[in-house]
Homo-oligomer: A and B are copies of this chain.
Amino acid sequence: PLCLCWALGPAAASAPPNLLLLLMDDMGWGDLGAFGEPSKETPNLDQMASEGMLFLDFYTANPLCSPSRAALLTGRLPVRNGFYTTNAHARNAYTPQDIVGGIPDSELLLPELLKKAGYVSKIIGKWHLGHRPQFHPLKHGFDEWFGSPNCHFGPFDNRALPNIPVYYEDFKIDLKTGEANLTQIYLQEALDFISKQQASQQPFFLYWAIDATHAPVYASKHFLGTSQRGLYGDAVREIDDSIGKILKHLQKLGISENTFVFFTSDNGAALISAPKQGGSNGRFLCGKQTTFEGGMREPAIAWWPGHIPAGGVSRQLGNVMDLFTTSLSLAGLQPPSDRQIDGIDLLPAILQGKLIDRPIFYYRGDEMMAVRVGLYKAHYWTWSNSWEEYSKGIDFCPGQNVSGVTTHTQEEHTTLPLLFHLGRDPGEKYPLSFASDEYQGAMERISFVVQQHKATMVPGEPQLNVCDKAVMNWSPPGCEKLGKCLKPPKSDPKKCFWPH
């Protein structure tokens, strides 16, 4: 017989692209020039956007660091992967120093799966998925880890709440001036890793999870005082500069066309720390900790020269969980089929400009507070924080108060959800009239989506219910050398108290 044989074309045969995920900490939608920050102090990120694709409707899976990061790396809602609490209704839980839980072994994390395609994975910066040894990144698929198990390397030198795994005094943040050179160290780690991997010819996944914009914010000496926006702006400028250097490094090494880069943040800006220690959510309502747009809509940029058309703007509804599925797709892998995956593959949106119809769910702990379908967002529950907290000055919506929306008691609207049109009203200020045809029509569709979601929801075992001071890092490895080991207290596990 006549046999015709072709080799696979270069596209199919070529190695999968490197994956570089730039994850910001508490940076808000409104912190970048490209997203309308009035000082326009992010020239490198703005250029990244103009060379790549800007996502205007990109979300986190949770308005808080730990669950958001767990969702990103598992592709699953926190209520599925266990990064939530059932201690009280609709509470934000995370991984403070005394948390007993962490990411369960049963969860499959992105770097574990990428091994199948030969990737070498590194996390630089903040982990936050559990600080006890069994939860560490190297136990969950990462090959290299440079950073801290929790947020920051701090609280710095605090003997009552030890956090730091090794370096008690090596990485300081001067809380008075805000000076710290951590971003520079994280930058150098990234550049070194990229160089090393480029030489090794193996594809890499680099998860650059820096934390300079999380209070206490910091910047290195060179950037201190350079922003119109104060110390927070200095931190943003240093990050912007660093990202510019990383992208240029990829270009210099000639691997920019083989490296898929995505920039986003873990949750909205922490307005409670603003303006000196917190960022901006632009025109969106409230901030971190809430399920309003300011808590969960994120700045997002995809960059992959030669593949993503320059200057694109996408209205695709995206989510940090999509980075899991999209990364697998880029690596030529399928997501696990034995569990519910919430993330979708964004490549059709990124490479072909397609719009995939999918909802966004806004959870707070164990409760689905709101859902977005198309341009409509329905709130089934509203709550900013309690009157008790609010009266002590804890305010997640400073300068903003929308009657009946930014409520200080948990308000149930499950029978008649509060509905907003996010195109006309991105600030969630004008609920639609319950009697309007528009309300009826939109809610019909949304109710169906919510019903489907709830009918198939199997919550995971909650991991953030129990706290115990005995599990803190009293004697991290290396403490002997420094003569700084501390004696842990007796174990006394308790239900964690989550105030909001």
Contacts and interface: CB of A to CB of B under 8 A. Distances in A.
A56 B40 contact: yes
B30 A283 contact: yes
A484 to B, nearest CB: 37
Interface in A410-467: 421-427, 429-430
A402 B397 CA distance: 11
A348 interface: no
A407 interface: no
A484 B421 CA distance: 43
A153 interface: no
Chain A contact residues, majority secondary structure: loop
Contacts of A423: 39, 227-230, 233
Given A399-B401, A400-B399, A38 B227 contact: no
A29 B422 CA distance: 18
A56 B35 contact: no
B424 A275 contact: yes
A313 B42 CA distance: 12
Contacts of A430: 274-275, 398
A37 interface: yes
A425 B282 contact: no
Nearest to A30: B283
A70 interface: no
Contacts of A228: 315, 375, 423-424
A33 B33 CA distance: 11
Interface residues of A, number: 42
Interface string A166-188: 00000000000000000000000
A38 B282 contact: yes
Of residues A36, A398, A429, which shows the largest number of chain B Cβ atoms within 10 Å of its Cβ?
A: A36
Q: What is the total number of copies of this protein in its complex?
A: 2
Contact of A56 (B39, B57, B280, B422): B39
A436 to B, nearest CB: 12
Interface string A6-43: 00000000000000000000000110010111111000
B38 A426 contact: yes
Given A230-B421, A430-B274, A399 B402 contact: yes
A38 to B, nearest CB: 5
Contacts of A37: 36
Contacts of A56: 38-40
A80 B33 CA distance: 37
Contacts of A275: 421, 424-425, 429-430
Contact of A36 (B233, B274, B282, B399): B282
A429 B233 CA distance: 17
A357 to B, nearest CB: 15
Interface in A220-259: 227-230, 232-233
B35 A424 contact: no
Of residues A38, A421, A425, A426, which shows the largest number of chain B Cβ atoms within 10 Å of its Cβ?
A: A38
Nearest to A276: B424
Contacts of A274: 425, 429-430
A398 B402 CA distance: 8
A314 to B, nearest CB: 10
Interface in A387-402: 398-402
Nearest to A37: B36
A285 interface: yes
A398 B282 CA distance: 16
Given A275-B421, A275-B425, 10 more contacts: A29-B38, A30-B283, A36-B37, A39-B56, A39-B423, A40-B54, A233-B423, A283-B283, A285-B399, A399-B402
Interface of A: 29-30, 33, 35-40, 54, 56-57, 227-230, 232-233, 274-276, 280, 282-283, 285, 313, 315, 375, 398-402, 421-427, 429-430
5 contacts: A33-B313, A38-B283, A39-B56, A280-B283, A401-B401
6 smallest beta-carbon distances between A and B, as pairs: A36-B36, A228-B423, A399-B429, A230-B424, A275-B424, A275-B425
